[in-house]
């Protein structure tokens, strides 16, 4: 009797054991190695849980899951349940009608026009952070960018309504929550141990503390009666289409907490990769400086920051080589098929974005840093999804691109970074990050 479903090539035997055990420690090497051996899509069945996984770096299949048949796919329990218990039910963790309702409510606040109004807040935080660079210090840019990106999110969300001490406390809590969450995702059986040791309960209480800080800021804004034209104002003033009612305080706090995490983590990681690549490519750095000089003061205004440029090419190419969103997961709500493959309801599809971005089927010289490739008139159709695709395309894409472009231009208009590293150590947790980026700042 023929099997009902036709999964891709299955990982079995020693390779399966290797994948299951080493995938926790070094998922990039394991998944990339499996694709090298088994092609652009492969299948793995977890022995103990009997869960079925399809891993793919095939552009057409990824687009089918994220775009053409997105209604048949939810984010998996990993995000909806495991992360949701810490962060609540915001855009990042929600699914279905609830997610769609929230997306439609919040989307207008992240239009290019709205984001352009935040440039002055970003500019002020960047100038303040760059002040010590005039002394040509040695620094770790990885730590620096995490602090800067977090401060930018705090100030664009809350303007002056949040204290520096509260920003630091929120940063500490969010880092600790992510560390526990990463352990739960990689080692599901470890969850019971963490629960027994009281780690999960303690982490949930920390999460509640972060929500209390945000609630206090929300109350302060409401009581002041002021309008500050920041993201918090946008969220407070948003109204549901069907009822005309605003979000509840609980929903507002959940959304703001998720904006904090999503708004700083991936951007800070991307900036570390961008500056590393620029430090290794002096021709690209020189071309970047030339563009900044030609733009003059206009280089730092929203119209220039948002248009296609060599600066944005550099950012896109660095994010191709080192995509912070290195993988996405989706779970099939019903049986499905694509071309020769078919799979059953409940199958988890792992969309391997890091592999897609370096797949030689789609990229010439895939491991080389070539910003000019994004000058191609067909760039819109590249196998390139650092912000996802389809209805769940990252709502903060314009915000992140404008912020990164401003930081890159502000820095390279005055400074040069000499990296002490020839190679970059990468760690794939919830997002892809480096462990450090030490080097020297030189004023030019």
Beta-ladder partners of 350: 55, 329
Rounded to the nearest integer, the mean pLDDT of the chain is 90
394 is in an annotated binding site: yes
Strands 41-45 and 9-10 turn out to be parallel
pLDDT at 270: 97
Half-sphere CA count of 384, side-chain side, radius 13 A: 18
Taking a C-beta distance cutoff of 8 angstroms, is the pair 122, 156 a contact?
Answer: yes
In the three-class reduction of DSSP (H, G, I as helix; E, B as strand; rest coil), residue 215 is classed as: helix
pTM above 0.75, yes or no: yes
Residue 283 CB neighbour total at 10 angstroms: 8
- The answer to whether residue 353 scores a pLDDT higher than 90 is yes
The SS3 assignment for 23 reads helix
Of 67-76, 199-208, 264-273, 354-363, the least confident: 199-208
The rounded percent of the chain whose pLDDT value lies above 90 is: 56
What are the φ and ψ backbone dihedral angles of 376, each rounded to 5 degrees?
Answer: -55, 135
> Quick check: 434 and 425 in contact, CB under 8 A?
yes
More confident residue, 110 or 10: 10
Encoded tokens for 411: 């820095």
DSSP 65-124: IIIITGGGEE--HIIIIIIHHHH-SSTTT--HHHHHHHHHHHGGGGSHHHHHTTHHHHHH
Q: Based on the number of CB atoms within 10 Å of its own CB, is 128 exposed (0-12), middle (13-18) or buried (19 or more)?
A: exposed
Residues 82, 221 contacting (CB under 8 angstroms): no
Q: Say yes or no to pLDDT of 70 above 90.
A: yes
Q: Locate tokens 């231009």: which residue?
A: 409
- In the numeric block, which tokens belong to residue 334? 């019903």
Q: CA–CA separation, 1 vs 4, rounded Å?
A: 9
Is 50 exceeded by the pLDDT of residue 40?
yes
Three-state secondary-structure class, residue 428: strand
| Four-point Cα dihedral 403, 409, 412, 418, nearest 10 | 30
- What per-residue confidence (pLDDT) applies to 189? 63
- Give the per-residue pLDDT at 278: 98
Query: What pLDDT is stored for residue 163 in this prediction?
Result: 81
Residue range 406-422, pLDDT digits in tens: 999 999 999 999 999 99
Strand order across the beta sheet in which 52-56 lies: 9-10, 41-45, 52-56, 348-351, 328-332, 73-74
Give me the helix-helix angle, 282-295 and 310-321, nearest 10°.
Answer: 150
Determine phi and psi for 415, rounding to 5 degrees: -130, 165
Neighbours of 261 (CB within 10 A): 24
Residue 120's nearest CA partner among 313, 305, 397, 396 is 305
Task: Please give the pLDDT value at position 114.
Answer: 86
What pLDDT was estimated at residue 2?
54
Q: What is the pLDDT of residue 177?
A: 81
pLDDT score recorded for residue 1: 45
pLDDT at 92 over 80: no
Range name among 118-127, 155-164, 175-184, 309-318 with the lowest pLDDT average: 175-184
Residue 110 has pLDDT above 90, yes or no: no
Q: What is the pLDDT of residues 137-185, one digit of tens each?
A: 999 999 999 999 989 998 888 887 788 888 888 878 877 887 787 777 6
Structural domains in the chain plus CATH codes: 9-443 (1.10.630.10)
Q: Does residue 229 register a pLDDT over 90?
A: no
pLDDT digits (tens, 9 = 90+) for 186-210: 666 667 777 888 888 898 898 899 8
């Amino acid at each position: 009797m023929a099997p009902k479903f036709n999964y891709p090539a299955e990982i079995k035997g020693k390779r399966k054991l290797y994948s299951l055990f080493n995938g926790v420690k070094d998922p990039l090497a394991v998944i990339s190695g499996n694709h090298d051996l088994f092609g652009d899509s492969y299948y793995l069945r977890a022995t103990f849980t009997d869960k079925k996984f399809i891993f793919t770096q095939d552009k057409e299949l990824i687009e089918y899951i994220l775009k053409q048949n997105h209604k048949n796919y939810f984010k998996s329990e990993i995000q909806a349940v495991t992360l949701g218990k810490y962060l609540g039910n915001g855009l990042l963790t929600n699914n279905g009608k609830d997610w769609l309702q929230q997306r439609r409510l919040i989307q207008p606040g992240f239009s290019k026009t709205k984001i352009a109004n935040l440039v002055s807040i970003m500019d002020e935080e960047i100038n303040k952070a760059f002040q010590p660079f005039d002394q040509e210090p040695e620094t770790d840019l990885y730590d620096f960018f995490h602090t800067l990106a977090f401060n930018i999110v705090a100030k664009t969300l809350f303007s002056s309504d949040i204290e520096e001490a509260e920003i630091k406390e929120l940063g500490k809590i969010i880092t600790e929550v992510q560390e526990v969450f990463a352990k739960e995702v990689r080692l599901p059986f470890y969850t019971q141990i963490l629960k027994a040791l009281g780690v999960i309960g303690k982490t949930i209480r920390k999460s509640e503390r972060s929500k209390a800080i945000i609630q206090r800021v929300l109350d302060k804004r409401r009581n002041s009666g002021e309008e500050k034209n920041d993201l918090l104002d946008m969220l407070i003033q948003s109204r549901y289409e069907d009822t005309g009612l605003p979000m509840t305080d609980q929903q507002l706090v959940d959304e703001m907490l998720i904006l904090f995490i999503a708004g700083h983590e991936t951007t800070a990681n991307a900036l570390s990769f961008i500056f590393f690549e620029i430090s290794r490519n002096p021709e690209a750095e020189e071309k970047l400086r030339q563009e900044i000089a030609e733009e003059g003061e206009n280089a730092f205004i929203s119209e220039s920051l948002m248009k296609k440029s060599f600066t944005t090419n550099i950012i896109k190419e660095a994010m191709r080589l080192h995509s912070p969103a290195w993988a996405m997961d989706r779970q099939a709500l019903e049986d499905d098929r694509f071309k020769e493959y078919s799979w059953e309801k409940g199958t988890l599809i792992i969309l391997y974005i890091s592999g897609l971005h370096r797949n030689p089927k789609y990229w010439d010289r895939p491991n080389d840093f070539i910003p000019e490739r994004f000058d191609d008139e067909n760039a819109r159709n590249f196998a390139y999804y650092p912000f996802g695709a389809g209805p769940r395309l990252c709502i903060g894409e314009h915000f992140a691109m404008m912020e990164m472009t401003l930081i890159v231009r502000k820095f390279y208009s005055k400074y040069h970074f000499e990296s002490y590293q020839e190679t970059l150590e990468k760690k794939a947790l919830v997002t892809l990050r480096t462990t450090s980026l030490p080097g020297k700042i030189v004023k030019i």
